Structures are given as structure tokens and as C-alpha cells.
Amino acid sequence: MSFVVVPRSNVGSDNAVGEQSNSNTNNNNTLFIGFNQDSTMLAYGKDQGFRIISCAYGFCERVFDHKFIDGGISFVCFMDEDKGTVALVGGGSRPAFAMNKVVFYNYKERKVTNELICPRNIISIHSKKNLFAVVAEDMVYIFDLQTKRQVHSWKTTLNSYGISTFIYNKQKKEYLLAILDEQVGEVKVVTIGHENYEIISEITIRAHESSIRCVALNQDGSMLATVSEKGTLVRVFNIDTGVKIHEFRRGNLAKEIYSLTFNHKGDLISCVSRETLHVFVVDFKEWKARLASNTENSANSSLSTIWSYVTTTIYEPLETTPTSTFKYPNIDGVSVCTFETNDESILVCNNKGVYVSLKFDWNSNTEPINADPIDKFEALVE
């Protein structure tokens, strides 16, 4: 699930976290934006309720819109096993309900179906089969959804963004949870068994020297992608060994990254800042070789001249890796990105209600670096 949480201390400002502004108002007071797991549904959490939008097959349609007179929703989680139900967390200046409570709401039948009380105020939540992950500012809890029993918990460093990701590996029948560890710059990846929810393994990865801003797992749980608060480098780690296997240069200047995600196949990574969407090819060598095999011999030599490289300095030596392969610079506002179900397009939605679908030619064999989209669809969903 790709999501972005607007920290409570910044609600009411239309600027990104940490930026200064002369304006004290946010016209739409968006607290949360997030997609479901297969990128067919989009949710907005607002200072007066929440909204659900269908975005399957590149089209936008408002499915549900619930407004509270005085009630903010800071997180909306699409339930994995119940497609008509969302889990809601209260937030904003006037929360819809206590911020340590999860309310399960069936938006098709328009009724509350259950509740879950947590020990701390909640920042983000995840649903995977029968397990439910709750992320607080300095703790993470795992609950059994059937019994509402807490089965695991971990202490974390301060996490006001709810940084975390939770997947289920169908082949191995295991859950994988990636969360912040207790030390700045470290990510803990926990593997949980399917039957008794026992912890199979825990690995701590030293990903960055500064605080982590975003994390993402690919669908089979073999790779972890991270970006720090500086936002200049995207790093990819092997989950089994904890070894860094790729490093991509987003840019030289610090930028806050709001969203980081793998595509469904796991061969592309996208990240979005307040201004730009970047897409990286995970296995650049394989991709480059495939492109070269489809072109004339002359194209093979010209291809090597159009790449920009970055070297690794503080970790074990890696071969140099390219900057973003595809790039779209016209992003405005706090945004979340994800790949469409078939991976043909990237979907971007911002806190101003602008939804954009961008289609790139992933098989382009002519100067692919920073390539422009070949098709674009834009709609206002607010």
C-alpha cells in the first residue's frame, strides 16, 4: 500500500513538512492520501471525513464520500480480506474519534462493523490477511484480527510519518514487516509465520546515516528500498543478507521524498518529491542488455554515452549505478505514487486533489534517460 501521512503539526499549511511559508491555511486540509494494494482504489483522509475513489483502468470515479461536521480522519486503510471495508484512524485538529482507536467501516453498507483499541495514538495501519499492523510514533504493534489480540510489538525511533510497509508472501506463506528500528537510519525487517504468527527472523539493516523518510518492499519480499530525509539517494537491499545491492542517485540537492514504491513485477522503483517523479530500473544491466539486443550495433555504443553515474562511498564497493531512467518534473504538492496493476502506468495523486496517470515506454531503445511520458491523463478528484 502506497500512502503519505501529513504530520499533525503541519495540518493547516499547504507547504511540505519542514518548509517555511507565509500562508497559514491549507484550502483542503488533507491529512492522508493512499492507494490500496492493487492500485485500483484511492482514499483521502480529510479534516472533515474521508473520500474513496476508484481509479481502475485509468479512470477516476468517486465511490464514497463521508463528511463529519467536526471530525478528522488521518488514515484510511483498505482491508485486505474485506474489499468493502476500510480501517479509519481519527486525526487532525478535531479527530473524529480517539486517536488510539481503529474503526472498521463498511462503506458499501455505510456502517461501523468493529473497533480496535491500541496502547498509543496511531500514525499508520496495514491490513494483510488475518494480521493487522499498527504504527505509533515510537512503537509498532501486530494484532490478530480475528481475536483482536496483540501478538507482537517493537520499539522504534521517533516516527511521525508512520513509515512502514507490510506484505504477505503467498508462496512462502509468510508475512514481512519493515519498520524503523531504535537507531536513526536503521530499518528492521521481521518475518512472521502464517500459522501461529511466530517470528521466523529479524534483520536490522543500516540503510542511511540520517533519518529514514520512506521504505518499500517488493511483492515477493526479496528486496527493501529506502530513502533518507535528505532524499538524494535511493538504496536497495537484499532481505536475506541485508547487503546493499543497488544505489540510485535521485539528485544532488536535498529534497523531501513523500512516496517510494516498487512496481508489481519488482523491476522498477518510483519515488516522488514535491516537484518531481523519478523512476529507476532495478536491474540496470539486464534492462540495458535487453534494449541493446533490440537495436542496431551502433545504438549499443551510443547508449553508453547518455547515462550519468554515481559511486558508492560509505558502504561496501558496488558497481556504479545510473540516475533515474524516467522522470516527470511537473509534480505539485505533497504526493503519493504507485504503479497501475498491469505496471503500464504510474499513478500520482497530491494533497490538492490532482490525479495524474503517466504512461512511459518502458521498452524504449532511444535515449531512455529522463524520458517523457508517451501518454498522460489528469483529473481533479477533489
Q: What is the pLDDT of residues 273-286, one digit of tens each?
A: 988 999 999 987 77
Cell readout for 75 is 488514515
Nearest to 216 by CA among 174, 248, 179, 260: 260
CA gap 113, 86 in Å, rounded:
10
pLDDT at 302 over 60: no
CA gap 148, 138 in Å, rounded:
21
Q: What is the pLDDT of residue 30?
A: 94
Rounded to 10 degrees, the C-alpha dihedral 101/106/107/112 comes to: -50
Give Cα separations from 186 to 113, 179, 312 (angstroms).
Answer: 37, 9, 18
pLDDT at 364 over 70: no
- In terms of DSSP bridges, do strands 375-380 and 186-193 run parallel, antiparallel, or are they unpaired? unpaired
CA gap 327, 53 in Å, rounded:
26
Q: What is the pLDDT of residue 153?
A: 98
* 352: Cα separation from own chain's centroid: 18
Q: Average the pLDDT over each of 96-110, 240-254, 295-309, 320-334 and give the range with the smallest value.
A: 295-309
Residue with cell 517555511: 20
CA gap 358, 337 in Å, rounded:
11
Q: What is the pLDDT of residue 288?
A: 73
pLDDT at 335 over 80: yes
Q: What is the pLDDT of residue 293?
A: 72
Q: Per-residue confidence at 81, pLDDT binned at 50, 70, 90?
A: confident
- All structural domains of the chain, each given as residue ranges with its CATH number in brackets, are 207-381 (2.130.10.10)
Collapsing DSSP to helix, strand or coil, 312 comes out as: coil
Q: What is the pLDDT of residues 25-80, one digit of tens each?
A: 344 589 999 999 999 999 999 999 999 999 987 678 899 999 887 799 999 999 99
List of residues 6+ apart from 145 with CB closer than 8 A: 81, 127, 130, 131, 132
The count of residues in the chain is: 382
Q: Per-residue confidence at 311, pLDDT binned at 50, 70, 90?
A: very low
Q: What is the pLDDT of residue 323?
A: 59
How open is the CA angle 339-366-304, to the nearest 5 degrees?
Answer: 100
CA gap 235, 244 in Å, rounded:
7
**More confidently predicted of 266 and 299:** 266
Cell readout for 56 is 481502475
- Region 325-345: mean pLDDT is 90
Tell me, what DSSP letter sits at residue 323?
Answer: B
CA gap 121, 98 in Å, rounded:
8
pLDDT at 198 over 80: yes
